[in-house]
């Protein structure tokens, strides 16, 4: 059976990517990162969702990107913004998707997996450069040069099935696939129980997505 490594943050997008990989007939191996982000709620969500969606294994890699810093998500001296200015916001984590995909590539090689799935999206995103189709294409090209498997002719494909979907489209697709989005955590500053702030960029796009999809937003918001 064909295998895929699926990057799973525990947020709305990545769980939808996982459900799509499963629908496409892949045996799924989920990969999450404890990289020093502001809360553990999303990792806890990733653990639960991996089991619910039948992943064969779930690994959590510790890599403390606070050593590098440079983002509101990995440097506590930089506040998470609650407005939505133009340009790439301070929640951008330098080279994060490159780092995560590289480690997914390592695991894919060990598993002899033929695919990596990642829930990046170029439509209702925050302007992150590593969420664009040209980035994914360049990573796929690199991946096939980087490994022993690649040299030996085993082709790896990087799937970004949400790339051209709006947040509303993603939600509609996930509902069709039976996802319970109340279990996902998208907020940049969720509390330990996974309750969302309702104010950061990520909450903003998520809430708007449910509105546009005409679906009741199941997100658990903090009461303050």
Stretch that binds its own copies, among 6-14, 44-52, 104-112, 160-168 (CB under 8 A): 104-112
Residue (51 or 151) nearer to its own copies, CB = 151
Nearer to its own copies, 51 or 110 (CB): 110
Pull the structure tokens for residue 35: 């990289």
Edge-to-edge strands, sheet with 115-117: 27-34, 3-7, 115-117, 157-159
CB 144, CB 155: distance < 8 Å: yes
Give start and end residues of each alpha helix (H) in 112-147.
133-146
Q: How far is the CB of 126 from its own copies (least distance, A)?
A: 11
The count of chain residues that interact with its own copies, using the rule CB under 8 A, is 43
Q: Which of 128, 139, 8, 11 is nearest to 71 (CA)?
A: 128
Residue 201 near its own copies by CB under 8 A = no
Nearer to its own copies among residue 32 and residue 172 (C-beta)? 32
Q: Closest distance between its own copies and the C-beta of residue 223, in Å? A: 35
Nearer to its own copies, 17 or 158 (CB): 158
- List strand residue ranges (DSSP E) for 77-130, in order: 115-117
* Site map (CB under 8 A) of its own copies, residues 118-157, x = contact: -----------xx-x-xx--xx-xxx-xxxx-xx------
Tell me how far apart the alpha carbons of residues 67 and 55 are, in angstroms, rounded to a whole number.
Answer: 31
Q: CA 55 to CA 36: how far, in whole Å?
A: 24
Is 102 among the residues that bind its own copies (CB under 8 A)? yes
Rg, C-alpha atoms of the chain: 17
CB atoms within 10 A of CB 87: 8
Catalog residues that contact its own copies under the rule CB under 8 A: 59, 61-65, 67-70, 88, 92-99, 101-103, 105-107, 109-110, 129-130, 132, 134-135, 138-139, 141-143, 145-148, 150-151
């Amino acid at each position: 059976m064909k295998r895929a490594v699926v990057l799973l943050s525990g947020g709305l997008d990545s769980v939808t990517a996982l459900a799509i990989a499963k629908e496409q007939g892949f045996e799924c191996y989920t990969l999450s990162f404890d990289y020093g982000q502001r809360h553990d709620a999303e990792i806890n969500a990733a653990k639960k969702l991996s089991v619910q969606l039948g992943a064969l294994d779930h690994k959590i890699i510790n890599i403390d990107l606070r050593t590098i810093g440079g983002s509101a998500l990995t440097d506590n001296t930089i506040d998470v913004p609650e407005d939505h200015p133009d340009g790439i916001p301070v929640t951008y984590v330098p080279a994060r998707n490159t780092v995560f995909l590289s480690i997914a590539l390592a695991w894919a090689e060990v598993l002899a997996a033929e695919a990596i799935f990642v829930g990046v999206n170029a439509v209702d995103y925050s302007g992150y450069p590593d969420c664009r189709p040209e980035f994914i294409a360049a990573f796929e090209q690199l991946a096939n040069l980087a490994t022993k498997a690649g040299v030996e002719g085993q082709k790896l494909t990087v799937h970004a099935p949400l790339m051209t979907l709006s947040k509303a489209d993603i939600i509609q697709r996930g509902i069709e696939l039976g996802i319970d989005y109340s279990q996902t955590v998208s907020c940049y500053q969720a509390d330990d129980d996974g309750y969302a702030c309702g104010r950061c960029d990520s909450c903003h796009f998520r809430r708007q997505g449910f509105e546009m999809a005409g679906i009741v937003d199941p997100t658990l918001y903090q009461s303050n």
